[in-house]
Amino acid sequence: MSETTPSNDAAAVSKSPDRLREFWFYFRENRGAVFGLWIFGIFAVLALFGPLIAPYDATTQFRDAALQPPFWQEGGNWTYPLGTDPLGRDMLSRLIIGARFSFFVGVIVVTVAASGGILIGLIAGFAPKWVDSIIMRIMDIILAFPSLLLALVLVAILGPSLTNAMIAIAIVLQPHYVRLTRASVLSERQKDYVTSAKVAGAGIGRLMFVTILPNCLAPIIVQAALSFSTAILDAAALGFLGMGAQPPTPEWGTMLAEAREFILRAWWVVTFPGLAILITVLAINLMGDGLRDALDPKLKRS
Amino acid sequence: MLNYILSRLLTFVPTFFGVTLISFAFIRVLPGDPIIVMAGERGLTEERYAELSEQFGFDRPIYVQFWEYFTGVLQGDLGTSFVTKRPVWDEFFALFPATLELSVCAMMFAVALGLPAGVIAAVNRGKFFDRALMSTALIGYSMPIFWWALLLIIVFSGNLQWTPVSGRIDLIYYFPDPTGFMLIDSLASGQKGAFLSAVRHLILPTIVLGTIPLAVIARQTRSAMLEVLGEDYIRTARAKGMSPGRINGVHALRNALIPVITVIGLSVGTLLAGAILTETIFSWPGIGKWMVDSIFRRDYPVVQGGLLLIAVMVMVVNLTVDMLYGVINPKIRKR
């Protein structure tokens, strides 16, 4: 017995780098996904170290330099590379520092929605039929409301702020995880390896989290990437409607809302925040497509 | 078949009850006393407050209030707006045609461009057209549409002056609106230029609202086509010497359409969510803008009723799509 242990350990250790390597092999095939990963990396760095990188503070107002165009246009200069907004704040600095809001919205919303959804989904997959029915009906009810409308009403109830916007978006996104987890649990539960684990005496907690959950993760990870971008878009939309982050926070959607009245006079205050949202969301969606191709064996061929 | 339809219909009942409960509960926990809000800046005496609270039933236990609301809903009574003092039901149906007109145009735009784009991409799989179309679709899919709307306004309304910025028609035109659909009414009015004005007002909102469905339909059509093109009967058709145009256009597309139709049906919720942003930006007098305005005005009965009506609409459409799918594809029924 003691002789076989080391080799077992070695196998266990080498197993997960193998899977990682296999994953990377498939992920690398998709050039768009790798490109998306690079952009996402830059985005993450800006989110973490934004205030150190940005040339100015996000809320400092240079009153004598209000509404300066970007450097390549007449009247612009390199002091404010992407121009200034109506209050004379540097656009580039606001965009860089704004990255963290979108990033943390994505991270927190996905963490909350996924962990809650996975837990409820596991319960629904294992519980008696009537509990399952009740849970799924509740999810149907949440899904019946258009997500942005539900988030909007929830934020109106909780009071407009970025935190409340995140809570609302997490609630709205969570049913997708429940459905996904429950569906894979139901199909995995039939399989032989689960039966043998049960025969070997695994308790229900072990069956849920150790035996079954790792085998359901692939579609959930793909969904996580997708809802990361949905979360960013919805938070920006709420900010744009005045129900998300509040001025003077340099959140990209809120910046767009503030810039709306200058739309025909100063194109850059409207264009850049939206471009930042688009590029970020696009990068995450590219990554999501790559993840799906690399993780989901059923879809690998297409 | 009948069993399938009945069981689907049965799940509708608890969901409907739940949706009513949620839209009711939301409003009861909203901060701010509705009666004080309604009184506005003039304020209220205490007797008047008590009187109003009795009139609206706010002094009774919450479950009694819910039961009355629920039975009211079943009889088509959704309460009265605090602001306009009109029944919520009437307001909804006065504004609904505007949203419907916009949504239908957006959907037609999305299907008219998305289907051919998906087919072309699938037929040219891996080649230049495929890559170009699918990259564009992914950009459309990632688009923050409120920003997209602003960009289009800058270019087409600002720089080029081709399209108006807001509303459904120029204010110089006035005619009766029996159907509520501006395109039909303006045509029926016979006024010169009215129809053209309505069309020009529709263009930008249609593009904005149709962008995401367009991207989704193009992607879905491509993957459905790719799946079908790998089937045996396509190879048989090819072996028989059928022209590629006929194979792709008739044999493959027809079978690829089933999942695409489902996607179209299920995007009603997306359209309504998009309508909230689109209508707000273009001051389009539909239910999306109505809901946003009511939320900001704290017009509780309208928020409550609108939420309920929109959810029920989404549910009915989803249920219909589900059942149609079951009719088209017998495999689904067995689940």
B232 found inside a domain:
yes
Q: Output the pLDDT for position A16.
A: 62
Mean pLDDT computed over B253-265: 80
Structure tokens of B203?
């263009």
| ipTM for the assembly | 0.84
Cβ-based contacts of A146 with chain B (< 8 Å): 269-270, 272-273, 276, 310, 314
| A-chain residue closest to B314, CA distance | A144
Residue B94 sits in a domain of what CATH number?
Answer: 1.10.3720.10
Which one of B75, B109, B137 terminates a domain? B75
B4 and B114 share a domain? Answer: no
B83 found inside a domain:
no
Chain B interface test: which of A149, A158, A176 (most B C-beta within 10 Å): A149
Which one of B49, B75, B101 terminates a domain? B75
B238 found inside a domain:
yes
Q: Output the pLDDT for position B206.
A: 93
Q: Output the pLDDT for position A38.
A: 92
B30 and B107 share a domain? Answer: no
Q: Using a CB–CB cutoff of 8 Å, tell me whether A152 touches chain B.
A: yes
Could you say which of B30, B141, B295 has the minimum Cβ distance to residue A285? Answer: B141
Question: What is the signed CA dihedral for B173, B174, B178, B180, rounded to 10 degrees?
Answer: 50
Q: Output the pLDDT for position A177.
A: 92
Assign domain A81-299 to its CATH architecture.
Orthogonal Bundle (1.10)
Structure tokens of B146?
């409120």
pLDDT band at B38 (very low <50, low <70, confident <90, very high): low
Q: Output the pLDDT for position B18.
A: 87
CB within 8 Å: B151 and A264:
no
Burial class of residue B241 in the structure, from the number of CB atoms within 10 Å of its CB (0-12 exposed, 13-18 middle, 19+ buried): exposed
pLDDT tens track for A202-216: 888 888 888 888 888
pLDDT tens track for B48-80: 777 777 777 677 777 888 888 888 888 888 888
B96 and B220 share a domain? Answer: yes
Q: Using a CB–CB cutoff of 8 Å, tell me whether A200 touches chain B.
A: no
Q: Output the pLDDT for position A11.
A: 43
CB within 8 Å: A274 and B144:
yes
B169 and B39 share a domain? Answer: no
B158 and B288 share a domain? Answer: yes
Identify the domain containing residue B34 by its residue range.
1-75
Q: Output the pLDDT for position A300.
A: 47
Mean pLDDT computed over B189-194: 76
Name residues of chain A where pLDDT drops below 70.
1-17, 296-302
Query: Which of the 8 DSSP states describes residue A260?
Result: G
Q: Domain-by-domain residue ranges, chain A? A: 81-299
- Name the average pLDDT for chain B: 82
B178 and B274 share a domain? Answer: yes
Examine the pLDDT at B17 and tell me if it is beyond 70. yes
B103 and B230 share a domain? Answer: yes
Mean pLDDT computed over B220-242: 85
B272 found inside a domain:
yes
pLDDT band at B214 (very low <50, low <70, confident <90, very high): very high
Could you say which of B11, B153, B272 has the minimum Cβ distance to residue A263? Answer: B153
Q: Output the pLDDT for position A12.
A: 44
B45 and B191 share a domain? Answer: no
CB within 8 Å: B150 and A274:
yes
B61 and B101 share a domain? Answer: no
Q: Output the pLDDT for position B32.
A: 60
Mean pLDDT computed over B29-57: 69
> Nearest-CA distance from A137 to chain B in Å?
6
B151 and B216 share a domain? Answer: yes
B128 and B225 share a domain? Answer: yes
Could you say which of B26, B142, B276 has the minimum Cβ distance to residue A229? Answer: B142
Mean pLDDT computed over B4-18: 82
| Cα–Cα dist A276/A281, whole Å | 9
What HEC string does B264-330 produce? HHHCHHHHHHHHHHHHHHCCCCCHHHHHHHHHHHCCHHHHHHHHHHHHHHHHHHHHHHHHHHHHHCH
B80 found inside a domain:
no
B26 found inside a domain:
yes
Highest mean pLDDT among A106-120, B168-182, B298-312: A106-120
Q: Using a CB–CB cutoff of 8 Å, tell me whether A85 touches chain B.
A: no
Structure tokens of A78?
């390199």
B260 and B188 share a domain? Answer: yes
| B-chain residue closest to A289, CA distance | B138
pLDDT tens track for A126-140: 888 888 888 888 888
CB within 8 Å: A273 and B142:
no
Q: Output the pLDDT for position B43.
A: 66
Number of domains present in the structure of chain B:
2
